[in-house]
Structure 1
Amino acid sequence: MRVIIQRVNRSQVMVDGEIIGQIGRGLNLLVGIAETDREIELNWMVRKCLELRLFPDPENPTGKWEKSVQEIGGELLVVSQFTLYGDCRKGRRPSFDQSAPPEIAEKRYEQFVEKLRLSGLKVETGKFGAMMQVLIENDGPVTLTLEKEANS
């Protein structure tokens, strides 16, 4: 499982010109599901996304990152992104052999979203399999790649 995690001031996702999800301060999560991903990978990723200290303490905004999205009561925008498993090492066209097939990926993506919702934070999503436009106002900018492979 791969997640591009971005600290944002705000973010939104549109389908066919209509905003279907939007958040204020929090995290934008671009989520790629591998065919080998199981519940253990989902649980690890949920915990990381919710508990990583990516926000400064409001009393010391120029200091170290001391707070998680949970601790600041932030919001989450979760967007499926199978292209995170694009392999560009050979040829001129990416290979997506490591991406889960749509029927598996959608199920795992929905499970991931539901686990995030258990945190009580506002969780918005894109539309699985749709052509989406994602607007991201990155804060910092802070962008990290999280990865959890099966059996690692």
Structure 2
Amino acid sequence: MRVVLQRVKRAQVTVNKTVIGKIGTGVVLLVGFTDGDGPAEIEYCTRKITRARIFTDADGKMNQNIQAVGGAILAVSQFTLYANTRRGNRPSFTAAEEAEKAHRHYEQFVTCLRETGIPVATGQFGADMQVDLVNDGPVTIIYDTNNK
């Protein structure tokens, strides 16, 4: 499982010219799955992301987590996180998990995030989405369960 986290001032995702998910302060998560991913990887990423001290405190130090600042999450599925670019100019996506399984895992991940009490907005799995965001920092962190 790979997740690219970006700390944001605000973000939204649009499908067919309709905004389907929107947050203010918080994080955008681009989420991808590969074969072998399951509940352990989902729980690991949920724990790491929700506890990450990436928001500034009164002293300007990154010392607070998303709950401490009343932030929200926008989770967007993105199979291209498993692109293989080693050969040629066209990426291969064979390492990305099959769509039906990835969809189930994405929904499980969103449920796990919501169980923490943090507000979670989402994109639409498998859709052509436009994600607009205002990076804060910028702060970008990559979680990969193969590199725990």
Which residue of structure 1 aligns with residue 144 of structure 2?
A: 147
2: distance between equivalents of 1:9 and 1:21? 15
Which residue of structure 2 aligns with residue 48 of structure 1?
A: 48
2: distance between equivalents of 1:109 and 1:35? 13
Please state whether the residue corresponding to 2:91 is helix, strand or coil. coil
Tell me the C-alpha RMSD between the 2 structures: 1.1
Native 8 Å contact 1:51 1:69 kept in 2: yes
Which residue of structure 2 aligns with residue 72 of structure 1?
A: 69
Question: Which blocks of at least 5 consecutive residues in structure 1 are unaligned?
Answer: none
C-alpha displacement of 1:120: 1.0
Which residue of structure 2 aligns with residue 25 of structure 1?
A: 25
1: distance between equivalents of 2:23 and 2:74? 6
Please state whether the residue corresponding to 2:8 is helix, strand or coil. strand
Which residue of structure 1 aligns with residue 101 of structure 2?
A: 104
C-alpha displacement of 1:92: 1.3
Question: Which blocks of at least 5 consecutive residues in structure 2 are unaligned?
Answer: none
C-alpha displacement of 1:149: 2.3
1: distance between equivalents of 2:3 and 2:36? 15
Q: How many residues in Structure 1 have an aligned counterpart in Structure 2?
A: 148
* 4+ residue runs over 6 A deviation: none
C-alpha displacement of 1:71: 1.8
1: distance between equivalents of 2:15 and 2:46? 25
TM-score by length of structure 2 reads 0.97
TM-score by length of structure 1 reads 0.94
Identity %: 47
